[in-house]
Amino acid sequence: MPQYQAPTRDIEFILNELLSLQDHSDLSGFDEVNEELVSAVIDECGKFGRDVLAPLNKVGDEQGCVRNPDGSVKTPDGFKDAYGQFVENGWPLMNKPANMGGQNLPYIMSMATSEILSSANMAFGMYPGLTSGAYEALMAGGSDAQKATYGPNMASGAWAGTMNLTEPQCGTDLGLIKTKAVEQADGSYKITGQKIWISGGEQDLTENIIHLVLARIEGAPDGIKGISLFVVPKFIVNEDGSLGERNALSCGGLEEKMGIHGNATCVMNYDGATGWLVGEPHRGMRTMFVMMNEARLGVGLQALAQAELAYQNAADFAVNRLQSRSLQGPSAPDKPADPIIVHPDVRRMLMDQRAFIEGGRAFAYWTALHGDLEHKSTDPAVRQKAGDYMALLTPVIKAFLTDRGYKMVNEGLQVHGGSGFTREWGMEQIVRDCRITLIYEGTNGIQALDLVGRKLAADGGRAIFSFFAEIDDFIGTHDDNAELKVFLDGLREVKAQLVDGTQWLMKNGMSDFNNAAAASTDYLQLFGLTALSFMWARMAELALRKRGSDPFYDDKLITGRYFVARILPEGASHLVKLKTGAAPIMALADDRF
Amino acid sequence: MPQYQAPTRDIEFILNELLSLQDHSDLSGFDEVNEELVSAVIDECGKFGRDVLAPLNKVGDEQGCVRNPDGSVKTPDGFKDAYGQFVENGWPLMNKPANMGGQNLPYIMSMATSEILSSANMAFGMYPGLTSGAYEALMAGGSDAQKATYGPNMASGAWAGTMNLTEPQCGTDLGLIKTKAVEQADGSYKITGQKIWISGGEQDLTENIIHLVLARIEGAPDGIKGISLFVVPKFIVNEDGSLGERNALSCGGLEEKMGIHGNATCVMNYDGATGWLVGEPHRGMRTMFVMMNEARLGVGLQALAQAELAYQNAADFAVNRLQSRSLQGPSAPDKPADPIIVHPDVRRMLMDQRAFIEGGRAFAYWTALHGDLEHKSTDPAVRQKAGDYMALLTPVIKAFLTDRGYKMVNEGLQVHGGSGFTREWGMEQIVRDCRITLIYEGTNGIQALDLVGRKLAADGGRAIFSFFAEIDDFIGTHDDNAELKVFLDGLREVKAQLVDGTQWLMKNGMSDFNNAAAASTDYLQLFGLTALSFMWARMAELALRKRGSDPFYDDKLITGRYFVARILPEGASHLVKLKTGAAPIMALADDRF
């Protein structure tokens, strides 16, 4: 079974040194953040992940969730107890505001703890992850009464939240939603319809489940502009806050799937269930996107977390498995063979994983810091830029980290050779669990379309120009740093490719949207490489300054140089591909596939 | 559940038109081969695959194999009956020689039927696949008596064969084998030891199982030069050919694994089992490599076959799933949404799959034809070149087709969105089944080392120079064909990259083997791209001549142009990567991973 140790040193490097959270004490919730607090939180979370959640990861995969004949759902052995500890220890409250009973710590801190939970047990981590998203959506779109009714218990994790979007006939295209909402005399609605693939739609972890449900009010306009959002609790909440009547909704079945068996993926039947409108009628998508954007960052992080888990176990296997000799002569002559880490091709896979994980972690956390800045900065210009970045970078985080993360978990399996394919070693579970991250919360193709179709052009390209300018600033500031040259050269080159690709899109994507769509995935990959290159240049600059005090900084420079030498070269081929336009892709007639 | 239709048109295109088997009637077994025979065989095999094997694919995954307390193993429901039909219909005998009761048809024909079996049911196809490999090894290394004793029943499929290499402490490094062989007075050996991951080690399909077992004779030299090969039947064969005593070997357990559940992966315990030496003592690896080389081609083909299966179902899903509208306006205005095949990013995935599959199929079959030429040509120069090609191309077929094939089955899953992750649609089984192909019969890293460490340098590089010369000849012959220009330009460029990479290896790989090993995987990928580019240029040249008679040829040209425009550009980044040398890969200290 895979072992997991939270990568506390690297997380603390990013939070304390690279992003210097302690320097943002002007932001709400940051005033108490210092290196000691960060270390304490990460250490504690790491222990919880290692000791409580990781041991349940295989149990969850093997047992899965079971739906009882009465529609109730049993999560795997140990999940309920672990969830109880999770709530009791106050983890969900860490980044919630004081008026909800929370500690008001920064959003970026919860990114770090989410990473740890997802590495230790991705299926488990989804329960609080979705609750957090549903909570944020209610806070963003709900009435004061709704916030008061559901907020505190969702903030603490006493109640769970879900998001109900998909129906059998619609996943990506939510305009096709058929679930109906009929207004009642008391202002509530009766919700009727079937939702599928609802993560945590039913479970035995919490005493109530607050479903956020997209539905169409009778007489609403067709399509996406007729979709409203409703809050539909499993148990109606009485005025005094106690739980009342069981609502007319139920889990009609569990989906059998490739992985994340420990998370209950439910068919949810709403049979005239009582729900309340969240926000304005027909504007449900707007609020749901609050949830989806948070969820998309979370999904990118899940893949990164699975890559970390796979890497740790692959590295461990590589230093312990004895097989063959080094090509340069025995490295362990006293043993029957050398550890396979002596082989360059094994090490190539491990270095690929490190370079991705460390760069991707910096990228995800740096983006999350903009989430804090967007909401908490007192400077409108900072808020605007941070908001621009969040919008621009969310699809990149989601798709780039999951595409690459999935490749990396497969590399981790590959390092294990035949053992990787057996269930015993647990690597194949990591691959199966990670596979969903390329799909849910909008497939990676949808993310790429979002990036080129919406995010690039928004506000006249303000976000991307701001991103380019920040990179140029960094290069300009450090251009005389000879030791940084290899990093700056790499960054300059990949950024120039991204500029080139952006210009191509502006020229060719507007006149023919199919050109933009055809280029979208390669553009997103090129964007991700640029972002990681920027992160690596920043980390290298810091490591060069700090080197000598800790071999950690030397390792960081080695891994960063690997990234520049052996991963960045992929940018060029993405640029060539994105510039082919739609013609080669669309030439074959529909009926000839 | 995935549906499967054998791609008869494309297979026939390659066998009848591209490779013109009918023009090789001077080769033994080719004299009766004509277009009608090819079509009849492929059609018949396609029906067997579609009607008998494909329906058992999901059954096999869900039921898996079961080991009974007595050590016997039950294959999934329906497998035994299907295997009975398979043998009764004479499929295994197709390419066996007349003296074994076979039809003596070309090896390349059995590649085509193997592809179909592997698409329809990979786990099933492994049983006859391994039997075929064991048969070939016995024919290559066994005594006349051994050939007579085991040959006919293995040729017909009445008995199965297995290969027993791996032990807990050794997979890649077979020099570490501990299984012991002790010579007996009658010239037989007592074999004692444990083998793991033995595909088909025990099953209920055949009345006897002929195990080929690597073991160390008492007193043998250490390492790989002390390994001998033994034939160890489950039931001792009496002199009259009837089955005698049950041998002292048994299945000690079944491995739980990620996929290919329908194939029994056994722990095999040899407890003083009676075996007979195959070939000379301590020279077992040589004969085993006959089997492994055949198996490696077969594994490449398995991944191609799974990619074909995934593609068919992804294309079907894409034309039937209605979701969102085309960016260029509704294509199906009478329906609630357009089929998702209108979206460029969906079509990109489908075209990726087509371009890989069709190019990879041509490459695999073209290589297989060299297998026939190597053994059957009357011209020593032809035999030598064909033998060179088989040696050179086998690791490329194995690793390139499985690496890319696995990516492509993942693309097929991705086209399905959330449905791809559910068990119901069966796409996730394809991904799980396909994953082993990157590992078994030598991991892809081992294939890359074999390519750069052994195959390139053999006979002063004769094989690779011959490959380059054949490409140059083709380009020279067709250089005035204006319509072919895009294909020839692409081929010229990627071949130049491969030449560049080869020269780099010759210059830097000899002085430091780690440089060669560090470059090996990227070199192999570049080699594969070059080989597919060559195949696409040849197919395009043919399609340009034949176009007009059948839209098939227009499709072929469209798919080929897609390959050149959108897949070949990856070659450049592989070249840059392979030229980094070992330094960036090896810089991090072993104890810092």
Note the pLDDT of residue B418: 96
Instruction: Report the gap between the CA of B423 and the closest CA in chain A (Å).
Output: 5
The shortest CB-CB distance from A345 to any of B339, B449, B562 is to B449
| Average pLDDT score over residue span B368-374 | 96
Q: Write the CA distances from A314 to A337, A413, B335, integer angstroms.
A: 18, 7, 49
| Helix, strand, coil percentages in chain A from 3-state DSSP, rounded to 5 | 60, 15, 25
- Residue B549: pLDDT band (50, 70, 90) is confident
Residues of B in contact with A410 (CB under 8 A): 406, 435
Is B341–A569 a contact, with Cβ atoms under 8 angstroms apart?
no
- Report the chain A residue with the minimal C-alpha distance to residue B453: A327
Q: Which residues of B are catalytic?
A: 441
Phi, psi torsion values for A427, nearest 5 degrees: -70, -35
Determine how β-strand B227-233 pairs with β-strand B208-217: antiparallel
Please report the pLDDT score of residue A294 as a whole number: 85
Three-state secondary structure call for residue A306: helix
- Which B residues 378-417 touch A at CB under 8 Å? 406, 410, 413-414, 417
Residues B130-164 have pLDDT tens digits of 999 999 999 999 999 999 999 999 999 999 999 99
* A168/A99 Cα distance (integer angstroms): 39
Residues of B in contact with A514 (CB under 8 A): 327-328, 344
- What is d(CA A544, CA A536) in angstroms, rounded to the nearest whole number? 12
Mean pLDDT (whole number) for B330-354: 96
d(CA B234, CA B247): 5
Instruction: Give the chain B residue whose CA is nearest to the CA of A519.
Output: B345
B449 contacts A593? CB cut-off 8 A: no
Catalytic choice (A441, A470, A483, A541) = A441
Cβ pair A173:B573 closer than 8 A = no
Which of A524, A566, A578 should be substituted to probe chain B, the one whose Cβ sees the most B Cβ atoms within 10 Å?
A566
**With contacts defined as CB-CB under 8 Å, which chain B residues touch A576?**
569, 572
Nearest CA to B418 among A258, A430, A132? A258
- Set of chain B residues whose Cβ sits within 8 Å of the Cβ of A351: 584-585, 588
Q: List, for residues A317-326, the tens digit of each pLDDT value.
A: 999 999 999 9
At residue B125, does pLDDT exceed 90? Answer: yes
CB atoms within 10 A of CB A498: 25
| Cβ contact, residue pair A417, B172, below 8 Å | yes
Interface contact B566-A584, CB threshold 8 A: yes
Name the pLDDT band for B2 (thresholds 50, 70, 90).
Answer: confident
Per the listing, tokens 């970026």 go with: A108
State the pLDDT at residue A291.
83
Checking if the pLDDT of B74 tops 80, the result is yes
> Residue B236 pLDDT more than 80?
yes
Tokens of residue A249, six digits: 């909704």
Return the pLDDT at A237. Answer: 98
Give the pLDDT of residue A293. 86
**pLDDT reported for residue A289:** 86
Residue B458 pLDDT greater than 80, yes or no: yes
> What integer best gives the mean pLDDT of chain B?
97
Average pLDDT, integer, range B480-509: 98
Say what percent of chain B tops pLDDT 70: 100
Cβ-count burial of A533 within 10 angstroms (0-12 exposed, 13-18 middle, 19+ buried)?
buried
- Binning chain B into helix, strand and coil, the percentages to the nearest 5 are 60, 15, 25
B336 shares contact with chain A (CB less than 8 Å): yes
**Residues B570-592: what's their mean pLDDT?**
97
Compute the distance between CA of residue B414 and CA of residue B408 in angstroms, rounded to an integer: 9
Q: By CA distance, what is B323's nearest residue in A?
A: A173
B292 pLDDT tier (thresholds 50, 70, 90):
confident
> Which residue in A126, A131, A133, A109 sits closest to A33, CA to CA?
A109
Q: Indicate which of B198, B258, B505 best probes the interface with A, i.e. most A CBs within 10 Å of its own CB.
A: B258
pLDDT score of B1: 75
Q: Is A449 on the interface with B (CB under 8 A)?
A: yes
Q: Pick from A267, A321, A525, A593 the residue to mutate for testing the B interface (most B CBs within 10 Å).
A: A593
Question: Residue A64 carries which DSSP code?
Answer: -
Contact assignment for A432 to B590 by CB distance below 8 Å: no
Interface touch A318/B593, C-beta < 8 Å? yes
Measured from the Cβ of residue B355, the count of other Cβ atoms closer than 10 Å reads 25
Q: Where are the domains of chain A?
A: 443-586
Residues (pLDDT < 50) of chain A are: none
Query: B249 to each of A465, B138, B186, how far by Cα in Å?
Result: 70, 20, 20
On whether the CB atoms of residues B357 and B308 are closer than 8 A, the answer is yes
DSSP classification of residue B422: B
Query: Does B532 score more than 90 pLDDT?
Result: yes
Query: Cβ-count burial of A367 within 10 angstroms (0-12 exposed, 13-18 middle, 19+ buried)?
Result: buried
- Our CA-based measurement puts residue B570 at a distance from the nearest CA of chain A, in whole angstroms, of 5
Q: How far is CA B372 from the centre of its chain?
A: 16
All residues of chain B having their beta carbon less than 8 Å from the beta carbon of residue A421 are 257-259, 435-436, 439-440
The first and second tokens of residue A410, run together, are 């497969």
CA distances from A67 to A200, A263, A373, A432, A433 (A): 12, 12, 43, 22, 20
What is the Cα A248 distance to its own chain's centre?
32
| Global ipTM | 0.97
* The pLDDT of residue A108: 96
